[in-house]
Amino acid sequence: MSNKFKNALLIVDRICKLTGINFSELEILKKPQRIIEVSLPVLMDDGSLKIFQAYRVQYNNIRGPYKGGLRFHPQVDLDEVQALAFWMTIKCAVVDIPFGGGKGGIIVDTKKLSQNEIERLTRAYVRGFADFIGPDIDIPAPDVYTNPQIMAWFMDEYSHIKGKNIPACVTGKPVEIGGSLGRDIATSQGGFYIFTNLLTKIKIKKQDISIVVQGFGNVGLNFAKLAYAASYKVVAVSDSQGGIYNHEGLDIEKIILHKQKTNSVINFDNAKNITNEKLLELPVSVLVPSALEGVIDEHNVNKIKASIIIELANGPITSIASDKLFKKNVIVVPDVLANAGGVIVSYYEWLQNLQHFYWDINKVNISLQEQINNAFYKVWQTKEKYNVDLRFAAYIIAIEKIVACLKIRGI
Ligand code: GLU
C-alpha cells in the first residue's frame, strides 16, 4: 500500500507550525472534494474484452475549474492520483492561474496496446467521465504516457457526446484542432526559464555547469534539448531502460535520433551505459528528475552530489529526502513551480479556445516566461522571509491564496 498522498499532505501542517499561521480552513485542503472511479470495458484487437480501472480526483475548485493531467501507467492507483491532484491544486495557485486542481489516471501499460486499443480506451474514459468534465468544470491534459493524439480523441469523443465542438474541454491538443503553439514543450520550456533565472540569481556561470537529466520522455527530452541548444553541458540522460554518461558532454540531438531508432538512449556511441540509480549519484552540479515520483528518498539522498535539483517530474523527492537536501544546502526548485510551464500554457490554450482567438508562439513564450519568472521571484522572496526551502515557500504562497479565497467566498 503506497503512502504518496499521506506524505504529500505532511507539508500542510508543517507550514502552519513554521509560519505560525493557524488556518482551521486548511482541513479542507487535506481531502479531495470528489473522487470518481469507473471500470472501463474495452474491446481488444483480438476480439476479447478487457476491463480497465480508471480514476479522476477533483481535488479543489475554490480558485477555478479543476485542472490536471490524465496519466496512463501500470502503477497508477487512487493514492497516487490523489497526491497528484493535490499537487495540481498547489501548482495552479503558486503560478497564479485561475484553476483548482485535479488529476486522472488509468491503470494500463500502453506499451502492450495497439494505437486502436489506446483510442478505444481513451474514448471509453471520456464516456465514463463526461458528466464530470467540461470547460468550466474540469479540464484534463497530457501527463505520463498520454500525448496530443490522446487529447485529440478525448476532445472528439466529448464533442460527440455534447453534440457540438468543445475544444476547451481538454488541453494539450494538436494545434490543428485548437491546441496552443508551444504547449508540447511548455513544461520543459518553463523549467528552463526558471533554471537560467536561478543561475543568474546565485551567480553561477554556464561553463561551471554540468547537467544530468533523468527520464527522456517529452519533458526530460525537451529540457535536455533546450539546455544543449543553449550550450550547456548535459553529461548524462536516461530512460526506463537505463542511462548514458560522458563527463565531457553528450550530443543531445544525436541521442534523440538514436532513441527514435532503437527505442532507448542506452548503447550510444561516445558514452558509457550506467544504471538509473548511479546516474542520480553522479558528481554534477544540476540534476533534473523528469520521470516518476519518489526517485530520491531516504535510501539514496546522502549519495546525491548535485547542488541544484530542478524537479520536472511530479514528486520525485520524498519529504524526508527533501529535508536532508535542504540541510545540505542543495537548492531544490520544487515540482509545483519547476514543472508548472505545462499547466500555464494549458491555461493559455483554454483561453484561446474560449475566445476563438489564437496566439503566435512569441506571445505564448513571452507570457510563459513572465508568468513563471514572477512566480519564481515571489517564491524566492518568501524563502528569504521565512528562511525555508523553495518548496515550503511555494506552499506558503499557494496556501495563503487558497485560504484567502475560502475566507472571501465563505465555506
Ligand atoms: N500533467 C501536467 C502537470 O502535471 C500538466 C497539467 C495540465 O496542463 O493541466 O502539471
d(C-alpha 189, C-alpha 219), whole Å: 9
Q: Is 39 helix (H, G, I), strand (E, B) or coil?
A: strand
Q: What is the pLDDT of residues 300-315, one digit of tens each?
A: 999 999 999 999 999 9
- Residue 22 — very low, low, confident or very high, per pLDDT cuts 50/70/90? low
Rounded average pLDDT over 267-289: 97
| 354: pLDDT strictly greater than 70 | yes
Residues in the chain: 411
The overall average pLDDT reported for the chain is: 96
Burial tier of 329 (Cβ tally within 10 Å: 0-12, 13-18, 19+): exposed
Per-residue pLDDT tens for 235-277?
999 999 999 999 999 999 999 999 999 999 999 998 999 999 9
Residue-wise pLDDT for 195-205, tens only, equals: 999 999 999 99
What band does 17 get if pLDDT is binned at 50, 70 and 90?
confident
Nearest residue to 100 (alpha-carbon basis) of 115, 116, 87, 118: 87
Residue 270 has a CB neighbour count (10 Å cut-off) of 12
Lowest mean per-residue pLDDT among 15-29, 128-142, 297-311, 355-369: 15-29
Largest CA distance in the chain: 62
Domain coordinates in residue numbering, the chain: 32-170+341-354+388-411, 186-338
> What is the set of active-site residues?
103
Beta bridge partners of 333: 310
Check whether 388 has a pLDDT greater than 70.
yes
Fold of 186-338: Rossmann fold (3.40.50)
- Would you say the CATH fold of 186-338 matches that of 32-170+341-354+388-411? yes
Mutation probe of ligand 1 site: the residue of 88, 222, 372 with most atoms within 8 A of C-beta = 88
The CA distance from 134 to 158, in Å, is 9
Task: Please report where in the chains the cell 528569504 appears, as a residue.
Answer: 384
The Å distance, Cα 341 to ligand 1 centre, comes to 9
Contact 63, 405 (CB under 8 A): yes
Closest atom of ligand 1 to CA, residue 340: 10
Q: Find out whether the beta carbon of 342 lies less than 6 Å from any atom of ligand 1.
A: yes
User: Residue 296: which of 322, 271, 274, 335 has the closest Cα?
Assistant: 322
Handedness of CA 239, 242, 245, 250 (dihedral sign): negative
| pLDDT at residue 193, as a whole number | 98
Write the secondary structure of 252-298 as one string of H (helix), E (strand) and C (coil): HHHHHHHHHHHCCCCCCCCCEEECHHHHHCCCCCEEEECCCCCCECC
CATH superfamily placement of domain 32-170+341-354+388-411: Leucine Dehydrogenase, chain A, domain 1 (3.40.50.10860)
